[in-house]
Amino acid sequence: MSTLLLNLDFGEPPPKKTSEGNSKHQRFVKKRRLLERKGILNKKQQPSSKVPKLHIDPPKTEETLKVDDTRSTLPPPKRRKTAASSSGAEPALEKKAGVPWLTPAPAQKGSSLAAPVDLLGEFQSALPKVKSHLACSQKKQPQKNPRKNGSQNSMHTAPESVFGGSQEKPRKMVAVDCEMVGTGPKGHVSSLARCSIVNYDGDVLYDEYILPPCRIVDYRTRWSGIRKQHMVNATPFKIAQSQILKILAGKIVVGHAIHNDFKALQYFHPKALTRDTSHIPLLNQKAGCPDNITVSLKRLTQKLLNRDIQVGKSGHSSVEDAQATMELYKLVEVEWEQHLAQNPPKD
């Protein structure tokens, strides 16, 4: 048998690939750390966010890496398409430009962190100021006719003859007449004992006997028509005064020598709302009397109304006198109110 010869080499073993792999790995780690320091790998690994990107210098394309003793050129980093390069993004940018409060403020170059953007505050500040629904609804409501309201209010405070000479009846015009008795020393003080109020048509609104606060010395029956029996169930003066003043308040009051009635009532009525038939020159002219004298109610009624009042020994009737006063006023109402409109009385 032939002998087998084995060519065995018992020299040093060949170097292991692990050592070569370790050296490659070490070179790779060094280059990786270099890239991390320059920010290339960090930029790729960072997750995408809506915050504007910070200004970072792009890596130079000339930098190379040595891997397995070969030089390889790194490709430039991918950049997102800008508004200038992509034509499809132009409409969207134009829309955003039209709404400035939705566009975040650009980050400053010198700062390393993006400034916080208060989108909610900018959105609220950019909203247009809208007026409240209540104010808009009030503007839309049609306004009432001022002429109609003005005529109604004027009819409550003055006769229609003042506003255009209409013959329509005023709603707030009354005539008043009072009867007095004597109180105080020797009965020289005139105190209220009866008061009558009638409306524009002569209907009686108030007619009461009134008990004076002082003892009655003289009943003056010949003129007043007051007797002792009338004072038995008479209304006390304070109560009657409050009732009468409620009726007269805000109304045009007609009377003859009415200042005496107001004095007995312890009351002052505005002159602008007072019509005294004893101081209306037109009545004197119609009765054929001088303008500068005071004509009695009895005489004016007899000449202008062809009626006799205050006759007999039973005394005057305050209701009859108030009705006669209102009728005399109606005779010259239109002319007298026009005169007062041009020459308003002063209080």
Say if residue 343's pLDDT is above 80: yes
Confidence of residue 29 (pLDDT cuts 50, 70, 90): confident
d(CA 253, CA 322): 11
d(CA 99, CA 122): 11
pLDDT tens-digit map of 178-199: 999 999 999 999 999 999 999 9
Q: For the residues of 194-219, what is the DSSP string, one character each?
A: EEEEE-TT--EEEEEEEE-SS-EEE-
d(CA 250, CA 245): 10
Say if residue 172's pLDDT is above 70: yes
Q: 312 in the Ramachandran plot: left (φ > 0), alpha (ψ -120 to 50) or beta?
A: left
Least confident range from 80-94, 312-326, 333-347: namely 80-94
Helix (H, G, I), strand (E, B) or coil at 177: strand
pLDDT tens-digit map of 237-268: 999 999 999 999 999 999 999 999 999 999 99
Q: For the residues of 265-319, what is the DSSP string, one character each?
A: HT----GGGEEEGGG-HHHHHHHT--TTSPPPHHHHHHHHS----S-SSS---HH
First to last CA, the chain: 167
pLDDT for position 25: 84
Q: Are 307 and 301 in contact (CB under 8 A)?
A: yes
d(CA 51, CA 264): 93
Instruction: Check residues 210 and 120 and name the one with the higher pLDDT.
Output: 210
Phi, psi (degrees; rounded to nearest 5) at 5: -105, 125
Percent of the chain past pLDDT 70, that is, above it, reads: 56
Helix (H, G, I), strand (E, B) or coil at 245: helix
Say if residue 123's pLDDT is above 80: no
Question: Chain centroid to CA 142: how far?
Answer: 16
d(CA 184, CA 182): 7
Beta strands 189-198 and 204-211, pairing class: antiparallel
Token digits of residue 204: 């009686």
Q: Are 159 and 333 in contact (CB under 8 A)?
A: yes
Percent of the chain past pLDDT 90, that is, above it, reads: 45
Say if residue 140's pLDDT is above 50: no
Say if residue 336's pLDDT is above 90: yes
Instruction: Give the CA radius of gyration of the chain.
Output: 56
Question: pTM for the complete prediction?
Answer: 0.53
Structural element, H or E, at residue 123: helix 119-126
Least confident range from 16-30, 79-93, 297-311: namely 79-93
Quick one: average pLDDT of 196-212? 97
d(CA 13, CA 112): 56
